[in-house]
Each structure stands twice: as C-alpha cells, then as structure tokens.
Amino acid sequence: MKIKIKIKNNFLETQMHNHIKTILSLSPVMPVLTINKIDKIDPLFEALIEGNLKIVEITLRTNCALEAIETVSYKYPTLKIGAGTVLNEKDLKAVKDAGADFAVSPGSTNKLARKAVEMDFPFLPGVSNSSEIMNLLDLGYKSFKFFPAQAAGGLDYVKSLNGPFPEIMFCPTGGINQTNAIDWLSLKNVVCVGGSWIVPSEINDYKKITSLALSASKLVDLV
C-alpha cells in the first residue's frame, strides 16, 4: 500500500511540476497585481490581454482579492490566473475554490508544499537560498519563485545556483523592473520574471498599461 501511495505521489509531483513550468513559459513577464477595487477589473485585464501577456498574479493583500480572482478566472479564460501571497492551507484551498490556475507564495513550508501536491494544484513556492531549494526538491518541486530577487542576492546569486541545481527554474520577483528584466531573462535558469511595474499602483492610464505589457511580452525576443 505504501508503494502505491508513493508512486501516486511521484506522479502528481511530476504532473504538477510540468503544469507550472508550462504556465510560467507562456509569458516572459508575470504582472504582480494588487486589486483594490473590483470595478476596475475589466479595463485593466482587457489592457493586459491587448498587451499580449498570458499570465498574471493577483496577490491576497486586499479584501476583494478572492472576488477578483473568481471574476477574472470566469471572464478571461485565456489568461492563467495565479494567486499570490498564499501563506497557508486555508489560503491554498480558498484560491483554488475561487478559480485560480495556480498559487504563489513568498516562502514555503513543508506542510503547505505537501498540501498542494495532495490537492494536485500547481504551486510556485518562494525560496531565497539553497537550503530552501533542497528542502522542496525532496517533495518533487523544480520550479520556484525567487524572492526577494534583488535583496536575496540578485543576478549573480541566481546564476550561481545553476551549478548545483541544473534542472531548477526560477521566476524571480522583487526589485525587477522594465530596465533590468532583460538581464534576468538572459539567465538560463530563469523561465520568467514577476513585477509590478506594468500596472502602477494608481490604475488610470490603460493605454500605458497596454504599452508596457506589449514591451514586456517582446522581451523574450531580445534574449
């Protein structure tokens, strides 16, 4: 019985890894969004779609975050919706029930990482050092959010991780902007980057958001 359970878990781990890697590969940049008002969702997401971005992260930092995830997941099925700032099992279940395609956390615990495997729910756990990577490798994870990217060591540190962890891919987030995003994407162990520069905190210029999104979507052609 234990052997069957282990085989099942290994299958789920591999399946989940392949799923999250496929999602992250859809766009070179994943906008990190903090939604404060539901009434601004339509023009915002229409601007992002027009800008040819296919993945977004909606953080659980506001009271309307879950409602935003549910609304966007239903109205804009061409987008892959990630739920960010997932801190515990309760958050994980809530974002899955709301319709998110995957979850993102700033860090991780074994309990949370195991629960995502049990739920067969794509999960991008946050790491900032080798020990955290090794811990999650034991659970089958091979794709990580590297956070906070600049403060945790920057480009040189992530580049150095390719030596001991050649199969690992990162989505660095934190301190990444329109100017330095291309430098991060040039690293062979970076699949995409996350950032908030595409959608400023005060959302009022949707043409600018589309322009920034288009520029971001074309970064992959410059690598």
Catalytic site residues?
57, 145
DSSP type of residue 24: H
- In single-letter form, the type of residue at position 48 comes to L
Rounded distance between C-alpha atoms, residue 218 and residue 215, angstroms: 5
Collapsed DSSP state (helix, strand, coil) of residue 126: strand
Rounded distance between C-alpha atoms, residue 143 and residue 87, angstroms: 18
On whether the CB atoms of residues 46 and 207 are closer than 8 A, the answer is no
Residues facing 124 on adjacent strands: 104
Rounded distance between C-alpha atoms, residue 5 and residue 108, angstroms: 23
Q: What is the DSSP string of 128-186?
A: -SHHHHHHHHTTT--EEEETTTTTTTHHHHHHHHTTT-TT-EEEEBSS--TTTHHHHHT
On whether the CB atoms of residues 194 and 170 are closer than 8 A, the answer is no
Rounded distance between C-alpha atoms, residue 88 and residue 106, angstroms: 11
